[in-house]
């Protein structure tokens, strides 16, 4: 360990692994370490033994759940938006060769006590039970307005300025009811709360378009999911990094981030060994998250409560879907933040046959977080077993430019990876001094295919 590296990466969560892979590909000498003996950190998928070790110290998984190796249970529930930013990185780095993906079978929204499919096109809107006859006509006009919008053609604008007018103005222009606004803003634009309504409409417009485009790509839902669980994602990017010379060490306790007198990063100490590097990137848990005293490198922004539920049946009302997302918009249950349900099953090689894994999650608003999940848990039917966790969301206090210490963000409550990619792009720019958009994302020429 007496070599010097360009970058040391701490933690093998998805954010760190994407950065590690891209940095190695750019020719940087990367050392990537994790305190756990498995890949993925918070974005790992665990087998039953690992899950029990984490949540039920000292207890063995029950035999009736089947073989340990059939399980790959995600800790953080997220899906990949088919036409989103993560998909672009997956394709351009060619790590898709290490994985197989399947569609998530359905996207649902909770309204007036029951769940319904989220309509995403004019056609679906016409058939949806979410709206009455006249509301359907108004929604149809709204969707065709969005789909026909062209920045350069003012005749498509119908008097709206997406950069100045609020989403409220747009909804009002088409006369959409508040229930319709609810599923558009929360189940399609995927906003976690209602703050977006009073802001300029463009970001909401872009999110709705992304949803529709992703929906159209494969047909059943806007989401895709890797076989064997989300933990395959960090593993794939770690392999990319290794292929380009990145060095991997798991099961390596990190004892100290060593700095010089000016607080600048020098190296990382594990036991008696200190490895030096020019820069360090790591997840908040390596930089004093949750600890008192010392230099504060991360602060808590909020908390997320998540309940991993083992089911022996599909979620009622989802047409026996092997997988789905259900959004419970905050207003429907008198909350400030939405509740999400993400369900996957043996179809995705994440559980034994006839077992579904549903994760219910939301941003914590009270002192009894688990109780806040009740409206979601009630939709699941009989819950065979349940593992509840409360995670703090940490954000770095500094941008790393002065001390060469770059801390990534915790995995938030959103149902997808778009904010993870935002973080990757942001850290990339700060670490390399170059905008992410300039990164050669074109296909890797690491192929040596012989036919």
Partner 1 sequence: MADNAETSAVPDKPIQVKLVLLGEAAVGKSSIVLRFVSNEFQANKEPTIGAAFLTQKCRLEDRVLRYEIWDTAGQERFHSLAPMYYRNAQAAVVVYDVTKATSLEKAKSWVKELQRQANPNIVIALAGNKVDLVTASSAAGASGAAASNGDDDEDEADDATATPGEDAGEAENPEGLRQVPKDEAQAYATEAGLLFFETSAKTGEGIVEIFTEIAKKIPIDHILNGRGGASRSAAAGAAAADAVNLQNNAPKGKSPCSC
Which residue ranges make up the site for partner 1 (CB under 8 A)?
A: 3, 38-39, 82, 87, 90-91, 96-98, 100-103, 105, 217-220, 224, 227-228, 232, 235-236, 238-239, 242-245, 247-252, 322, 347, 349, 445-451
Supply the angle between the helices 133-148 and 202-218 in degrees, to the nearest 10.
100
Distances (CA, A) of 185 to 176, 189, 286: 12, 5, 36
Strands 356-363 and 80-81: unpaired
Say if residues 340 and 379 touch (Cβ distance below 8 Å). Answer: no
Minimum separation from the CB atom of position 286 to partner 1 (A): 17
Q: How far apart are CA 432 and CA 30, in angstroms?
A: 13
Minimum separation from the CB atom of position 229 to partner 1 (A): 10
Minimum separation from the CB atom of position 145 to partner 1 (A): 25
Q: How far apart are CA 407 and CA 265, in angstroms?
A: 12
For residue 369, how many C-alpha atoms fall within 13 Å in the half-sphere facing its CB?
16
Give the residue with the Cβ less far from partner 1, 236 or 330.
Answer: 236
Minimum separation from the CB atom of position 232 to partner 1 (A): 6
Q: How far apart are CA 426 and CA 147, in angstroms?
A: 30
Give the residue with the Cβ less far from partner 1, 213 or 384.
Answer: 213
Give the residue with the Cβ less far from partner 1, 33 or 360.
Answer: 33
Say if residues 30 and 23 touch (Cβ distance below 8 Å). Answer: yes
Q: How far apart are CA 451 and CA 449, in angstroms?
A: 6
Give the residue with the Cβ less far from partner 1, 131 or 420.
Answer: 420
Q: How far apart are CA 17 and CA 166, in angstroms?
A: 38
Give the residue with the Cβ less far from partner 1, 62 or 245.
Answer: 245
Give the residue with the Cβ less far from partner 1, 160 or 227.
Answer: 227
Nearest residue to 382 (alpha-carbon basis) of 309, 307, 322: 309
Minimum separation from the CB atom of position 131 to partner 1 (A): 28
Give the residue with the Cβ less far from partner 1, 250 or 398.
Answer: 250
Minimum separation from the CB atom of position 424 to partner 1 (A): 18
Q: How far apart are CA 290 and CA 182, in angstroms?
A: 35
Q: Taking the alpha carbons of 68, 71, 77, 80 in that order, is the dihedral positive or negative?
A: positive
Exposed (0-12), middle (13-18) or buried (19+): which is 271, by Cβ within 10 Å?
exposed
The conformation of residue 188, written as its DSSP 8-state character, comes to I
Give the residue with the Cβ less far from partner 1, 105 or 184.
Answer: 105
Minimum separation from the CB atom of position 61 to partner 1 (A): 17
Minimum separation from the CB atom of position 308 to partner 1 (A): 19
Q: How far apart are CA 67 and CA 353, in angstroms?
A: 10
Minimum separation from the CB atom of position 223 to partner 1 (A): 10
Minimum separation from the CB atom of position 248 to partner 1 (A): 4
Q: Which residues contact 62 (CB under 8 A, 6 or more apart)?
A: none
Give the residue with the Cβ less far from partner 1, 64 or 451.
Answer: 451
Give the residue with the Cβ less far from partner 1, 133 or 449.
Answer: 449
Strands 339-345 and 324-328: antiparallel
Give the CA angle between residues 76, 13, 92 to the nearest 5°. Answer: 105
């Amino acid at each position: 360990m007496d070599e010097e590296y360009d970058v040391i990466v701490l933690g093998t969560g998805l954010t760190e692994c994407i950065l590690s892979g891209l940095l190695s590909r750019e020719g940087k000498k990367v050392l990537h370490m994790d305190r756990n003996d498995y890949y993925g950190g918070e974005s790992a998928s665990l087998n039953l033994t690992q899950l029990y070790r984490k949540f039920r110290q000292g207890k063995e998984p029950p035999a009736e759940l089947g073989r340990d190796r059939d399980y790959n249970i995600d800790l953080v529930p997220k899906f990949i938006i088919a036409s989103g930013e993560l998909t672009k990185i997956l394709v351009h780095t060619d790590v898709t060769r290490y994985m197989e993906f399947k569609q998530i079978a359905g996207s649902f929204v909770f309204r007036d006590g029951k769940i319904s499919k989220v309509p995403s096109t004019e056609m679906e809107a016409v058939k949806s039970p979410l709206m009455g006859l006249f509301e359907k006509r108004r929604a149809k006009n709204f969707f065709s307005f969005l789909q026909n919008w062209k920045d350069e053609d003012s005749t498509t604008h119908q008097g709206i300025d997406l950069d100045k007018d609020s989403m409220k103005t747009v909804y009002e222009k088409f006369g959409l009811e508040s229930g319709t606004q609810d599923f558009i803003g929360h189940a399609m634009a995927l906003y976690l709360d209602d703050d977006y309504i009073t802001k300029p409409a463009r970001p909401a417009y872009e999110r709705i378009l992304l949803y529709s485009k992703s929906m159209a790509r494969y047909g059943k839902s806007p989401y895709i999911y890797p076989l064997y669980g989300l933990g395959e994602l960090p593993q794939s990017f770690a392999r990319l990094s290794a292929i380009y010379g990145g060095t991997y060490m798991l099961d390596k306790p990190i004892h100290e981030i060593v700095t010089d007198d000016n607080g600048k990063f020098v190296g990382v100490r594990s036991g008696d060994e200190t490895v030096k590097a020019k820069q360090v990137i790591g997840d908040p848990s390596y930089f004093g998250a949750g600890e008192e005293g010392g230099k504060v490198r991360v602060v808590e922004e909020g908390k997320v409560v998540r309940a991993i539920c083992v089911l022996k049946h599909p979620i009622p009302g989802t047409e026996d879907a092997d997988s789905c997302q259900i959004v419970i918009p905050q207003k429907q249950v008198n909350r400030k933040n939405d509740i999400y349900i993400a369900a996957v099953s043996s179809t995705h090689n994440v559980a034994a046959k006839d077992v579904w894994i549903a994760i219910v999650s939301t941003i914590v608003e009270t002192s009894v977080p688990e109780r806040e999940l009740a409206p979601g848990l009630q939709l699941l039917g009989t819950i065979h077993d349940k593992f509840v966790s409360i995670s703090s969301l940490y954000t770095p206090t500094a941008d790393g430019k002065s001390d060469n210490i770059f801390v990534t963000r915790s995995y938030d409550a959103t149902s997808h990876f778009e904010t993870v990619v935002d973080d990757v792009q942001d850290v990339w720019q700060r670490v390399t001094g170059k905008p992410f958009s300039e990164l050669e994302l074109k296909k890797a020429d690491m192929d040596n295919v012989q036919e």
